[in-house]
A and B are shown apart, each in its own frame.
Chain A
Amino acid sequence: MKRTIVVIAFIVATQLGLAQEPAPRVVEITAKRFEFNPKQITLKRGERVTIRLISTDRAHGLLVKPLGLDLDADEGKPSEKTIVPDTAGTFPAICDHYCGSGHGNMKMTITVE
């Protein structure tokens, strides 16, 4: 009986703990031929944040290797990933899904401070 109570208490405590964990902040980035909007975002080191990529025309990518971000979105098919940046710095982000002649200029910046 005593053992059962301990187990139940553990489960309740765990559930409460999870419930209290705040949902990550969501940052939306819109992609269209040959630009991202916004062109710059700022994240906090250690913060759980969900990066959501939304395309308004065709397939695009968002690649930031140092942050472990490699998203692909198509029109009507957004994609997202939750990350916890642990290194401060300024990181270039590129579209890595070839989208036409201006593709090479499709980039933005993610700052972690």
Chain B
Amino acid sequence: MKNEFDRRAFMRISAMSIGAGALLQFSPLAGTARGNAMSRLFHKQNGEGPGSFSIVQLSDTHVGFQGPPDPLGTKAFERAVDVINGLDPQPDLILFTGDLTHDSDDPAEHAKRFKTFRSISDRLRVKKRMYVPGEHDAALDGGVLFRENFGEAHYSFDHRGAHFVALDNVSLGKPIVGDDQIAWLKKDLARFPKTAPIVVFTHRPLFDLKPDWEWFTADGDAVMNVLAPYDNVTVLYGHIHRENHHTTGHAQHHAARSLIFAFPDPSAAEKKPLPFNPQQPFKNLGIRTVSGNTAARPFVAGINDVELSIRELSGSEGIQQLLKQGESL
């Protein structure tokens, strides 16, 4: 019982999302008895003590996609990189939650798209970057290209007292995590107390958000059953190209926006990308800020959206600044 602590009394969170995701800021309530106890615990469990840190989540950049819903290709992704590079202080960790690239039937072309993705993401000043694949990255080749570029598709690590778990729910072709990975997850979590802060990042939602639109993971319930005993679970995901917040048990699920185009609200009759608006080229690909109150619920907080668009890039004249010479809409 000595190891037990109340995370609500310990962590303070505020979050900001950049088109594709959330900048989550965690701060320990230093000086409190519980905070100090937790600090000792994580130092013992993880080899590092907890401290304040911030995360940016990016998702669904679809490098290589070029089409009517977004004629600007990688421009929103590049703009997000610039915005993140301008943050002061810099986040110390960036999570990419899949569909980094848009697939191609030609493996050489797909490999080229991975290379382009890396050339853009390498402009980020933050060097600690973690990735999981989306189906567009890994479902056609079983994750071969993804692993060549980024290593394993599921793994875990500790950071400042939180345990991060990367889950792959696309590489088997079907929207599943699979029995082997679920067994690995159970074993991976076994060393942690039930109150440990756990951040899962993955591509598809781990609950049935809208199965008809493929917004689900077939064995998501089995994954959440493994996570169910843990009191402080945050799931960050992408795939649905829009912001979404959902609670299952003790887990808070947060969807990140895309950096290519947005899908409509799941209550809509049809899953059809929202049309490109030349007057607001990054509409629905903006920045989200979230501030939290740990006295209530640390991971669910007030949300503020700020569009990624800036005045200089709006309107038909602004669009021309984003297009390469000779390009047209």
The residues of B that contact A104 with a CB separation of less than 8 Å are 214, 271
> Number of contacting residues on A, CB 8 A?
15
Which of B29-37, B115-123, B168-176 sits within the interface? B168-176
Q: Which of B93-110 contact A (CB under 8 A)?
A: 102-105
Report the minimum CB–CB distance from A81 to chain B (whole Å): 16
Asked if A98 contacts B211 (CB within 8 A), the reply is: no
User: Which among B102, B140, B174 is the interface contact of A72 at CB below 8 angstroms?
Assistant: B174
User: Is B174 a contact partner of A96 (Cβ separation < 8 A)?
Assistant: yes
Evaluate contact between A96 and B271: CB separation under 8 angstroms: no
Q: Judging by beta carbons under 8 Å apart, are A100 and B140 in contact?
A: yes
Chain B residues closer than 8 Å to A65, beta-carbon distance: 208, 211
Evaluate contact between B218 and A96: CB separation under 8 angstroms. yes
Within B174-223, the residues touching A (CB, 8 Å) are 174-175, 208, 211-212, 214, 218
Give chain B interface residues in 232-289, CB to chain A under 8 Å: 271
* Among A92, A97, A100, A101, contact of B174 (Cβ-Cβ < 8 Å): A97
Which of A59, A72, A96, A100 has a CB less than 8 Å from the CB of B175?
A96
Find A94's partner among B104, B173, B212 (CB 8 Å cutoff).
B212
- What residues of B have a CB within 8 angstroms of the CB of A70 in the complex? 218
B139 within 8 A of A: yes
Question: Is A100 within 8 A of B105, CB to CB?
Answer: yes
Q: Does B70 contact A (CB under 8 A)?
A: no
With an 8 A cutoff between CB atoms, is A61 at the interface? yes
Q: What's the Cα separation between A72 and B173 when bound, in Å?
A: 11
Which residue of the partner chain A has the closest CB to B212? A92
Interface presence of A83 (CB below 8 A): no
> Per-position contact with B for A54-82: 1 when CB-CB < 8 Å, else 0?
00000101010100001010000000000
Task: Note all chain A residues with C-beta closer than 8 A to B175.
Answer: 96, 98
Docked pose: A98 CA to B102 CA in angstroms: 13
* Chain B residues positioned under 8 Å from A61 (CB to CB): 174
Tell whether, in the assembled complex, residue A96 and residue B105 are in contact, meaning their CB atoms are under 8 Å apart: no
| Contacts A/B (CB < 8 Å), 12 sampled | A59-B173, A65-B211, A70-B218, A94-B214, A96-B174, A96-B175, A97-B173, A98-B135, A98-B174, A101-B103, A103-B135, A104-B214
Chain B residues at the A interface, C-beta cutoff of 8 Å: 102-105, 135-136, 139-140, 170, 173-175, 208, 211-212, 214, 218, 271
